[in-house]
Amino acid sequence: MPNPEKDQTIASLTSLASREEYTGLDGDGDKGPALHQRTRIGRLDLELVEPHRAFTCSWKRTSSIHDASYALVFPLTGCVAFSQDGRVGIAMAGEYVLLSELAFYELSTDKAARFLMLRIPAAELRGRLVSIEDHISRRFKPNEQMTRLLAGMIGNVAELFIELPAPNPQALATEVISFVALTIGSEDRGAATDVRNARYHLRRRIVDFIEIHLGDQSLSPKKIAASSRISLSYLYSLFTDNETTVSQFVQTKRLQRAYEILVADPKGHRTVSEVAYEVGFKNVSHFSRCFSRHFKVAPRDVRQAPEAAPRPGAAEPNESSSPRLASSRRAFGSPYWDVHKQELRETV
């Protein structure tokens, strides 16, 4: 079923920032599209992002599990659109979405959005939840009560420690990670009928086959179906579940792989043409058009060093400096948290 709010959000995207550009932002708001504060609590990274206008952020995959993190995103106001592994969705204020740095993902917001992002080392969550990958991209329905508790905890941690150091950061990080795992584990698995059954595992095998053979220019739905010994119609139905087609999924994967290659090659050892052919495109012009339309930046520009070229969609210079973020006491309120604090005061 069409989602007008999601379509409107995605249609309003105006800029793109790579991982390095995004995490390099500071609270002055004059070096990129977002006002930004971050802190480290033990082994956790906590960030507050307040873009003031629609923007998109793409994260390239991290190859090693030891270097990777899971990103837990909490919208405070507005909404955040996400995309990973062929799944897309919208997270509203008071909700969360879990994303993995072990695969390419994208985040985009409307201009009213403010959100917190908590990065947790992948090994930490994998050690607590065996099936953590099943929870990526909101496959299951979150538990409402646990979500409220978790959002309140993260909001309070940010309010107290975004500017001041935590007294015992490693111990606090352990407690936060444990509660995150508890909340994720409380999600309703029954709400997603395709998980932990043959259909779900079949789709995972197909995705793995596609990723291995992205460079094969003759890769087609017929070849993909034959690899799993299923009919074309059944293959199409597997991707219809996630509101996409086989061809769209393959093209998106190819574009994401190309993005990763280009960003990892800032000195241009490989030409755009070589990258296009490497990821399975037959025509360089078609590749460039698709890449520019998907990422809002030309492939030749995405790998330029930050000092050599402006960030795509960067804010226009302004004579007056942008205001700093509001004080943390005013910045982290959630729609329900303030209400409950008011009720508590009235009870006392």
Res. 346: pLDDT tops 50: no
Res. 324: pLDDT tops 80: no
Q: Which helix (H) or strand (E) holds 75?
A: strand 69-77
Mean pLDDT of 121-136: 79
pLDDT given for residue 232 in this prediction:
94
How high is the mean pLDDT of the chain? 75
Q: Which amino acid is at 320?
A: S
Residues of the chain with pLDDT > 70, as a percent, come to 68
For the chain, residues classed under CATH 2.60.120.280 are: 4-192
Res. 235: pLDDT tops 60: yes
Q: Per-residue confidence at 211, pLDDT binned at 50, 70, 90? A: confident
**Is domain 4-192 in CATH 3.90.420.10, yes or no?**
no
pLDDT given for residue 140 in this prediction:
86
pLDDT given for residue 54 in this prediction:
60
Q: What is the pLDDT of residues 180-206, one digit of tens each?
A: 989 998 888 765 554 556 777 788 789
pTM: predicted TM-score of the whole model, two decimal places: 0.58
Mean pLDDT of 33-45: 81
For the chain, residues classed under CATH 1.10.10.60 are: 198-302
Take residue 334 and report the two structure tokens written for it: 């959630």
CATH of domain 198-302: 1.10.10.60
Sole residue written with tokens 């890449």? 291
d(CA 236, CA 263): 32
d(CA 15, CA 35): 15
Sole residue written with tokens 């291995």? 212
Phi, psi values for residue 75, rounded to 5°: -65, 130
d(CA 71, CA 285): 34
Q: Per-residue confidence at 85, pLDDT binned at 50, 70, 90? A: confident
Residues of the chain with pLDDT > 90, as a percent, come to 31
Res. 84: pLDDT tops 90: no
- For 219, residues 6+ apart whose C-beta sits below 8 A from its C-beta are 210, 213, 250, 280
pLDDT given for residue 67 in this prediction:
75
Q: What is the pLDDT of residues 130-187, one digit of tens each?
A: 568 888 888 888 999 999 999 999 999 999 998 888 887 888 888 899 899 899 988 8
Res. 315: pLDDT tops 80: no
